[in-house]
Structure formats: structure tokens, C-alpha cells
Structure 1
Amino acid sequence: MITRHYIDVVKDASKRRIHYRKSGSGPPLLMVHQSPRSSKEYEALMEKWSGYFTCIAPDTPGFGQSDPWDGNPEINGFADAIIEFLDAIGIQKCAAYGFHSGGIILVTAIKRHPNRFAALAVGGYAIWSEEEVALFSEKYLPAFYPSAYGEHLTWLWNRILEQTWFFPWFATDGEHRLSVAHDDPQRVDAVIRDMLDAGNAYQAGYGAVLRAPRDIPAVDANVPPCLISAYDGDPLQDHIARLGEMPPSWSARKVANPEEHQTVSLAHLLEADRTALPKLKEANDEGFVGVKTDRFTGLIHWHGSRGASNLVLHAPGSAIDRSISGDNIAIDLPGHGLSDNWTGEPPSTWDGWQAVVDQVAVKLAAKSIVFADLPTGDPDRLYPDLSPDRFGNYLTKAWQIVRSAEIFKPWYKADKNHTRAFDTTALLPERLAKQHLDLLNARAAKHYHLALESRQRSDHGN
């Protein structure tokens, strides 16, 4: 089972929160994701390798659920951030794996802190030419900020979709076509959500990787062993020939497919010295608890004070209010926010939801439940299907919903009889962006609404 945690990196009187995933048993294996992804991209691989290692995958600064940097650090900053993360959770030495930009971060880290690693496996390592660097610097990382009417979402969908058609994504010509092109909405959506989490912070992390010097350690460098491999269809496979001389314990090879890359990487990592896993540390005011009922098995995200008097529930289609304080603790309900979704069809009566809430209350030692107000309107219309589609229409549909919801109540009745008073700041794109992502993550909103209605009827004896 993959669990999720938070830890704080405290440095120079500042604090930066890092989110990480963990699974398995045995010696620790650090796994660093590519940009602009998050540790979520490693869930399937963590399950494969959890029989050999305790897999630990952090979100790098600014990605996933990790706080961004203040300022615009270069690659050394991201490499040192990995070491600071290891320090914070209590790991002194481990093996490591990174794909693409994750590998670049780790190679930089291993050069700066060789004694912290037992071995390294890398999926694709970029050695850019001067012409390629110039090409990338002009167009590859445009600013990504929300716009008033959701125009940024149309760009984002096409940008992520076509990066599997061309590399770089904006070079739409025959010379830059990729053999791994697809138009799978689910695969595109996975990257879209990571980009929405990162926002324009993606420029800092991705930019640091693109600008990083591509100097493999010198032949006589005292560094742990490393294997670099790249499969057919990976645009970085051709870069294997650009690596040049490497230390004797380093090697590189071309492989046929992603499965072979994973196989050779695992075999290489298993040859490393086995380091003991210490008891890992985590934050005490935010995290995840495991819950199991007859309808739900998964993780529930919480934020606040353990043992608080009030367990605060959000409204359907929403998520945790992170500004919560005092004698309160809040959770994301199943199928909302960062919590897992229901195992099957979500229940439409309160008893199914109550079983989860009651178990969470016991685990977090909360004493009473505080319910949010039930939104006004027909659940079928309040929460339309927002499943990913081939053209990304679900993204703009969700944006129009959260914008309309600030102006009309319910949002789908845009007439003079259903106007609502609002502050113009409610329509600021950055505020709508948070609600937009919450709505996209609210996979069980309609069922939660129906369950709350059933609770109200029960309370009134109907």
C-alpha cells in the first residue's frame, strides 16, 4: 500500500513543506520525478518495487503538494533540496532512481553529496547542444497563469497532448515527430492535474533542469555506481551517444521499451549496498489516515490539530480549507481534494459516508462533527460529468461552473431571479483556479450532496 505524508524542511528561520509518498519494506529507495510531474507518476512503479525497497518519492519544490521555493533557484538548489528532504525524514544514505529531469537533479546531487547515495539509476539523461538550448530557452517554458475566462486551459490541454506528438512540443514538423504519440484523455489528464497543482512554479523547477550544466562526473571522480538507460521512442535515447567518458562504475545502454528500462534499473539498484531504514519523520499538523469500511478503502487527507474538538467537513464539490486553525481539524471527504475515491459507486445515503467520518474522527481523536451548508440546487445539474474527454472540454466546463457560481445561485440559473451579491475579487483568476481544481478533484460531489440530503431528511423524520 502506498501511504502519503508531509515533512517540514526548516532552514535559516524559514520552513518549506514537502509532500511524499512511501510504500514497501526493506532499504530506502529515493525516487525523484520528472518535471512538470509529481510523485504520483511513480505509483505504479512503487508498487512493483515495493517488494525490494521502501520506496520514498517526494514532490520536488513547487510540484505536486510541496511548497515552492522563494525566488528562482538553479539546479544546485533543487539537488540540495533532495538532501534537505533526506535530512528532514532522517535518512543518511540510500539508493536513488530518477527519470529525465529527476535524473538530472539526482546526478547533480550525487556530484555534490556522493556519500549520501549507495547507487543511482536514471531513465534518460539529456545532453543538449547549444542550438537545442537556444531553441528551448525561447519557447519551451512560457508563463502559466490562470486567465479570467479559462483561456489558459485550452493552451494547457494542447500543450500536454502534443508533447507526445512532437519534441520539443512546439516544433510541429516532421523532423520532430515522436513515435510514442497518443491521444489518451486519461494520460493527458494525469499531467494536466500536476501542472494545475504547480501553476507557474513549474517554470522554476523545469527551468533549473533545462539550464543545468550537463557534466557527467569526471572519470576519476569518487562517486557511487550509476546506470543510465533509455528506451526506443524516448527522445533522450539518442543522447546516450553524447555522454562521453564516465567513471568506471557508471554505464549507459539503450533498451527496447519502458519495461526493460525498469528491469535493468532494478537489477542495478539491487546490487547496491543495503542501507537500514530508520523510522521516518513526518509533520504533526497535516497528513493522511488509512480508513477501511465496506464501501471505502484508502487514504483520507487531514489538516489541523489532532485531538481537536471539531472535525470540519467541507461542502460537496469543495475541499479542505487550509486556513483552518484553533480547536479544529478538517478532512477531504472520499472522492474530494487529496483523499482517495470510493472503491466502487459512492453511496447516496449518509450511513456510507458516516462510517468513514466516524472512523476518521476516532483516528484523529476529534470530538464532534461540523457540517458545511448544503448548496442550493439540483445535484444532477450542480455537478455535471467532468470526466476527461479527448478535446479537454471538461477543463473549460469546470471553469465556467466555478465562475458562474460566484454570480448566480445556483450557478446554472443565470437570470435576474438568481443573482447573488459578490465581491469582485471573487472573480480573480487565481481564486477561481483553486475552486476549479477542487471541483475537478470532486469525483463524488453529487453522491455526497445526495447523502447530505438523506441525512437532513432523517434528522427531520421524513
Structure 2
Amino acid sequence: MPLIRRAFAELSTGQLHFAHCGDAAAPAVLLLHQTPRSWREYREVLPLLGEHFHALAMDTPGFGDSAPLRDAASIEAWAALAVELLDALAIPRAHVVGHHTGGVIALQLAAAHPARVASLVLSSTPFVNEALRRARRERPPIDAVAPSDDGTHLAALWQRRQAFYPLGRPDLLAAFVADALKVSGDVEGGHRAVAAYRMEDHIGRVTQPTLLIHAVDDPFASPHVPELQAHLPQARVVDIPGGGVPLPDQLPQAFAQAVLGFLRA
């Protein structure tokens, strides 16, 4: 298995952290994580992709070890920073993979910078339209918990996500909590950025070959697959039974197999 290496790129907003794996001369695959996670969501996936591609997983600005944006978080700004990373690494074109929030960023990247995106993999990605924006505005915060002197907010964060994680995998919840605690500033920033994004204004510009990875047991994203298919007629769909919210680190072999099968085809 190829080794995972970690590095920083100096971008317009400061240092952006990323992990990479595989031959730098091979075709690049850029992986974008959900929020409030980090590149570690793809820790087990990177070596599997790195056997065939130059696989890179970046920390979205404000998450993991990347500096936050100077202005309010937005899908458009995060996509522009992903292009800056490709420029800094002299990567003219990449396959782009995104999970949850990362999928929304990936779609914006493909729509706004089509020459930079060879193909697109949208994993558990919501279709963001006015109905979803309204639902998000009316819903209480997803991950925000008030700090407490006795640490009970840590248990509250764990319990708030527990129903959406597979039984018997406390390691996945522990990884989530660790990443959530590292967020610079607003832990809800990623969710707010998704809720403000006008996907319906951009999705029609996506013409790249596209794969939709359907995590069957993901209650948030699974219902959006038909909507995405309707707007992306070129898209193929791969179902991953048992896959849930933490799909890339829950079932890394199945996730990597789906991505590799699509890229090889």
C-alpha cells in the first residue's frame, strides 16, 4: 500500500492542509469531506485509490488543520480554494469526489471550473433547492452544542449524531467528535453554507461523466438520489447497502471500489 503523506499549501486565505497518496505523476483524484469532518474521513480510502491514482484529500478551510476563510463560509468560496490548491500543486485537471457537503462543493467546482474537472463522484450529496433551504432554516442546529464546565456538551455532541451512525462502531463517532472539536469558529458553518447554496442555478452546467454513490442507509442524503438523477442525465448510480452518514470511513473498501470502477470505465 502506498504511504499517506501530509502537507500544506500556501493559498490566498492562508495555509490549507491536505493528505496525499500515490504517484504524483498519475492522474489526480481530489477528495472533499463532509462537515464537520476532515481529510481523516478518507484515511482508509486514500491508499486504495493511491494504488492507481494520485489521491488527495484536503481539509476544507476552517476544518481539520486548514486556516478558515476570512469571510463567511460559502460553497462557491470553498470550490475556488480547491482550484487554488490544484494550481499550487500544478495539477491541471482532476477527478473530483465529494461526500455530503464535499459533494456540494464538488458539484460547484465542476460547474464553475469545467476545464479542471475530468469527472465527478457525488456521494450522499443533497439536492439543494428552495425546499431544502427552507427546511434547513426551520430546523434546529445539527452539531452546535453549548460548552459546559463539566464536559457534558461532549456527550451531547456524541448523542446528537449517534442515531445516524452504525451500531457497534464507536470509532466512527469518536472520529466525528474529534473533528468537530477542531473546527475554527462556527461548527455549523458547513451546514449553513449548504443551506444557502443555489444548486438549481449551477447543476445544469455540469456535463462531466458523473457517478452518484447511494449510501442506502443514509437518511439525510438517500432521498435526494432521484432528484440528482433528474438533473444529471449522464449520471450512473451505485448503491452501497448498509452505507450510512460516515460512508467513506465506515465502508472504505466498498467506497473505493465504487470510485475505482467508475474511473476505470
Question: Would the aligned equivalents of 1:22 and 1:54 in 2 still touch at CA under 8 Å?
Answer: yes
Aligned identity (percent) is 27
Change (3 A) 1:154 1:229: closer
Question: Would the aligned equivalents of 1:141 and 1:207 in 2 still touch at CA under 8 Å?
Answer: no
Q: Specify the alignment match of 1:270 in structure 2.
A: 264
Q: Specify the alignment match of 1:280 in structure 2.
A: none
Q: Residues 53-92 of structure 1 correspond to what in structure 2 (within 5 A)?
A: 53-92=53-92
Q: Specify the alignment match of 2:156 in structure 1.
A: 155
Q: Specify the alignment match of 2:225 in structure 1.
A: 240
Q: Deviations over 1:335-370 (max 9, x none)?
A: xxxxxxxxxxxxxxxxxxxxxxxxxxxxxxxxxxxx
Change (3 A) 1:67 1:110: same
Change (3 A) 1:268 1:80: same
Q: Residues 425-436 of structure 1 correspond to what in structure 2 (within 5 A)?
A: none
| TM-score for the superposition, normalised by structure 1 | 0.50
Which amino acid is 2:197 matched to? A
Question: Would the aligned equivalents of 1:33 and 1:59 in 2 still touch at CA under 8 Å?
Answer: yes
Query: For residues 170 and 146 of structure 2, what CA distance do their matches in structure 1 show?
Result: 22
Query: For residues 111 and 239 of structure 1, what CA distance do their matches in structure 2 show?
Result: 19
* Structure 1 SS opposite 2:213: strand
Change (3 A) 1:90 1:163: same
Question: Would the aligned equivalents of 1:123 and 1:261 in 2 still touch at CA under 8 Å?
Answer: no
Question: Would the aligned equivalents of 1:36 and 1:202 in 2 still touch at CA under 8 Å?
Answer: yes
* Structure 1 SS opposite 2:110: helix
Query: For residues 66 and 147 of structure 2, what CA distance do their matches in structure 1 show?
Result: 20
Give the RMSD, CA atoms, in angstroms. 2.4
- Give how far 1:247 is off: 4.9
Question: Would the aligned equivalents of 1:63 and 1:201 in 2 still touch at CA under 8 Å?
Answer: no
Change (3 A) 1:201 1:17: farther
Q: Deviations over 1:60-80 (max 9, x none)?
A: 011111111123132111111
Q: Specify the alignment match of 1:17 in structure 2.
A: 15
- Among residues 183, 192, 197, which one is paired with 2:182 in the alignment? 197
Query: For residues 49 and 154 of structure 1, what CA distance do their matches in structure 2 show?
Result: 34
* Structure 2 SS opposite 1:245: helix
- Give how far 1:266 is off: 1.5
- Give how far 1:257 is off: 4.8
Query: For residues 169 and 238 of structure 2, what CA distance do their matches in structure 1 show?
Result: 29
Change (3 A) 1:253 1:238: farther
Question: Would the aligned equivalents of 2:238 and 2:258 in 1 still touch at CA under 8 Å?
Answer: no
Q: Specify the alignment match of 1:3 in structure 2.
A: 5
Which amino acid is 1:153 matched to? L
Change (3 A) 1:154 1:187: same
Change (3 A) 1:163 1:136: farther
Question: Would the aligned equivalents of 1:94 and 1:119 in 2 still touch at CA under 8 Å?
Answer: yes
Q: Specify the alignment match of 1:209 in structure 2.
A: 194
Query: For residues 143 and 50 of structure 2, what CA distance do their matches in structure 1 show?
Result: 37
Question: Would the aligned equivalents of 1:103 and 1:124 in 2 still touch at CA under 8 Å?
Answer: yes
Q: Specify the alignment match of 2:96 in structure 1.
A: 96
The count of corresponding residues between Structure 1 and Structure 2 is 249
Change (3 A) 1:8 1:144: farther
- Give how far 1:244 is off: 4.9
- Give how far 1:102 is off: 0.8
Which amino acid is 2:8 matched to? Y
Query: For residues 48 and 123 of structure 2, what CA distance do their matches in structure 1 show?
Result: 16
Query: For residues 96 and 71 of structure 1, what CA distance do their matches in structure 2 show?
Result: 25
Query: For residues 258 and 80 of structure 2, what CA distance do their matches in structure 1 show?
Result: 27
- Give how far 1:143 is off: 4.2
* Structure 2 SS opposite 1:205: helix
- Among residues 187, 194, 208, which one is paired with 1:224 in the alignment? 208
Query: For residues 149 and 71 of structure 2, what CA distance do their matches in structure 1 show?
Result: 26
Q: Deviations over 1:191-244 (max 9, x none)?
A: 1100111154332223212332232632xx463211112032122222212225
| TM-score for the superposition, normalised by structure 2 | 0.83
Unaligned runs of 5+ in 1: 165-180, 272-462
Which amino acid is 2:167 matched to? H
Query: For residues 57 and 99 of structure 1, what CA distance do their matches in structure 2 show?
Result: 11
- Give how far 1:132 is off: 4.8
Question: Would the aligned equivalents of 2:45 and 2:255 in 1 still touch at CA under 8 Å?
Answer: no
Question: Would the aligned equivalents of 2:62 and 2:69 in 1 still touch at CA under 8 Å?
Answer: yes
- Give how far 1:156 is off: 1.6
Query: For residues 50 and 253 of structure 1, what CA distance do their matches in structure 2 show?
Result: 21
Q: Residues 290-439 of structure 1 correspond to what in structure 2 (within 5 A)?
A: none
Find out whether 1:41 has 2:41 as its counterpart.
yes
Question: Would the aligned equivalents of 1:61 and 1:205 in 2 still touch at CA under 8 Å?
Answer: no
Unaligned runs of 5+ in 2: 244-252
